[in-house]
Structure formats: structure tokens, C-alpha cells
Amino acid sequence: MASPFNIVVIVGSIRKESFTLKIANALARLAPASLQLDVVTLHGISFFNQDLEANPPADWLAFREKIQKSAGVLFVTPEYNRSIPGVLKNAIDVASRPYGKSSFLGKPIGIVSNSPGPLGGVNAAKHLQNILPGISGPILGQPEIYLNGVGDAFDDKAQLTKESLQKVLAQYIDAFAAFIERQNR
Ligand code: FNR
């Protein structure tokens, strides 16, 4: 069998007990054999500052390289104030540079938003759909996935216990795998 496609999963929350991180890990477990998901948190990514561009910090270079070497990127994000969290926007700014050389260029993209609330972080997902097209490859448009009510989906060992959530995550990651195969063919 061909070796699996390496997918960088960017987690939009750095909270220790983050539901977003638990969802990213659940996706990694549910992914078909054609994908290898590398779940990446954003601790330690320095604030973007144009003054540093001539001599970029090592953490920027490592983050950019990880994305450049991937076959695709999957964003899993919560919603903060009807948008994406600042840590995620910062990481996107870091990887989008140098100008014209975004690490996301040509990379197929998936977007999974979530919230313990009723709206599933849909605004965060929509903001990503606005931000990314100028600096990335194609974004998977169907199926859309905005996960609501995630607050009671995990047990105290971070295992996914909500069957309905497990089902939509499995459907999504299968569709994403098919998209990655089409884009990397
Ligand atoms: C939130 N939260 C939130 N939820 C939502 O559905 N829409 C929103 O606009 C916001 N706004 C918001 C702003 C800020 C600053 C915080 C801290 C939180 C609630 C959010 O969904 C909740 O805290 C999640 O648990 C955050 O995701 P993680 O850390 O569990 O992955």
C-alpha cells in the first residue's frame, strides 16, 4: 500500500482541556489508513512581527516547514467572539509569509469548527473561509461541519463518548481523505 498522506491538523485552542484538541485527536483516531494526522498545537509560536521577517525565529521556521512538507492542512477551531481565536490568526499570519510564499500555497484545506454552544462555531469557520483563499490551496466545501454541543461529548479520559459526534467526524474525515487523494493525484 502507498504510504499515507501526512496531514497537519492545526488546533485553534491552547487550553489544556480544550474540546477542540479532543476533537482533533478523535479525528486522528478515526482517520482512514490513507491519512496520517499530525495534531499540532500552537503553544510557543511567537507573535508575528514584520520586524522579525529578515531573521525569523526558529519556531516560525519549524511551523512553516511542517506545513510545507504536508499533503494538506486540517483546521480544527473553536469560535472566539464570532471569529477565530487570536492564537490561530497569529499562526496563519506566520505561515502566510514571506509575501507570496505562504506555506499553505497549494495545500488542500479542511475546516472543522466547534462550540459547546448551539451554533457550532460557524462564524469561525466562515472567517477561515474568508482568510485562506489568497494564501492556500482549495478548501473542501462539502460536507460542511460545525459541531455544536461538544461540552458533554468526552469522558474524563478525553475519549469521545457521544455517538452522534463520532458519526459525523467519521463521515467528515472520510470525505476529507477522498478530497486529499483527488488533490494529490
Ligand atoms: C468564547 N466562546 C464562544 N463560543 C461560541 O460559540 N461563540 C463565540 O463567539 C464565543 N466567544 C468566546 C470568546 C472567548 C474569549 C472565550 C474564552 C470563549 C466559548 C468557547 O466556545 C468555549 O470556551 C470553548 O470551550 C473554547 O474551545 P476549547 O478551548 O474548549 O477548544
Residues 6 or more apart whose Cβ sits within 8 Å of residue 48: 90, 93, 94, 97
Mean pLDDT score, 6-34: 98
pLDDT at residue 48 is higher than 90: yes
- Coil, helix or strand at residue 148: coil
pLDDT at residue 1 is higher than 80: no
Contact 151 CB / ligand 1 (< 6 Å): no
Half-sphere CA count of 166, side-chain side, radius 13 A: 10
Grid coordinates given for 142: 462539502
Say yes or no: domain 5-22+32-183 is CATH 3.40.50.360: yes
The reported pLDDT for the residue numbered 9 is: 99
Contact 149 CB / ligand 1 (< 6 Å): no
User: Omega into 98 within 30° of 0, i.e. cis?
Assistant: yes
Angle at which helices 86-96 and 58-68 cross, to 10°: 80
Dist. CA 19–CA 161, nearest whole Å: 13
Q: Whose CA is nearest to atom 18 of ligand 1?
A: 80
Contact 78 CB / ligand 1 (< 6 Å): yes
Cα 22 to ligand 1 centroid, rounded to whole Å: 15
Q: Supply the pTM of this predicted model.
A: 0.98
Helix H segments across 9-149? 19-30, 58-68, 86-96, 122-131
The reported pLDDT for the residue numbered 2 is: 84
Cα 5 to ligand 1 centroid, rounded to whole Å: 31
Domain edges within the chain: 5-22+32-183
> Hey, which of 21, 77, 80, 113 would you mutate to test ligand 1's pocket, going by the most ligand atoms within 8 Å of its Cβ?
80
- Tens-place pLDDT, residues 130-162: 999 999 999 999 999 999 999 999 999 999 999
- Which atom of ligand 1 lies closest to the CA of 151? 25
Residue 32 near residue 7, CB atoms below 8 Å: no
Give phi and psi for 127, each to the nearest 5.
-65, -40
Mean pLDDT score, 73-91: 98
